[in-house]
Copies of this chain bind each other. A is one copy, B any other.
Amino acid sequence: MAGKKVLIVYAHQEPRSFNGSLKRVAVEELNRQGCAVTVSDLYAMDFEPRATRKDITGVLCNPDFFRYGVEAYEACKKRSLTSDIIDEQKKVQEADLVIFQFPLYWFSVPAILKGWMDRVLCQGFAFDVPGFYDSGFLKDKLALLSLTTGGTAEMYMKTGVSGDFRYFLWPLQHGTLHFCGFKILAPQISFAPEIASEEERKEMVASWAQRLKTIWKEEPILCTPPWYFGQ
């Protein structure tokens, strides 16, 4: 939709990968709509995943006893976080929709993207206490996980060996994004592209591009317990 701003946080090492294709068609389709699209290409940026005292540029509250959460919170209020964090926070702040594009690593995001979440979504920026879940600071924004899996859709059914795919989405959709207030759009899961035919891969990419045409009409999903686990 013209005028909307989208941030794509992208975590794949290879531009020609399937994840790269999904990212590329998203940029193309959203640009076509007149959206302003920004991409954070984490590997290309060599984004720092480790949460350390280097993230605080000013004087520490307690140099003798380092508590990352406390120091990051204070530094956020004083605008003394390191510039790579502030840059990402600005991109998030400006976005109406944040899309995370990544291959599933161990039922979760790759470490480089986990580091983005650990460092960028700090207290004072994304939430406070109180000021989380439905009152998280990013509550006027949408988030969407677009991911690829190694395992097949059958493995990620409720009775499959890896359990319902919603189970592994829980820490990301509820524990992280919903905690920060984001409204969550349905995940886009491209199952097992590595063992799919070229035809099937093209269909998966096309269906993502197709979905994005009407993305602004979608309603957020519920991702709170006990509904989430069907209980």
A residues near B (Cβ < 8 Å) are 13-14, 16-17, 43, 46, 49-53, 65-69, 105-112, 114-115, 117-119, 121, 133, 150, 158-159, 161-164, 167-168, 170-172, 174-176, 179, 224-226, 228-231
Contact = CB atoms under 8 A, between A and B. Distances in A.
A4 to B, nearest CB: 26
B225 A167 contact: yes
Given A50-B49, A158-B225, A67 B118 contact: no
Contact of A69 (B49, B150, B163): B150
Given A17-B67, A111-B114, 4 more contacts: A14-B65, A49-B112, A114-B114, A159-B225
A94 B25 CA distance: 46
A13 B158 contact: no
A229 B167 contact: yes
Contacts of A65: 14, 16-17
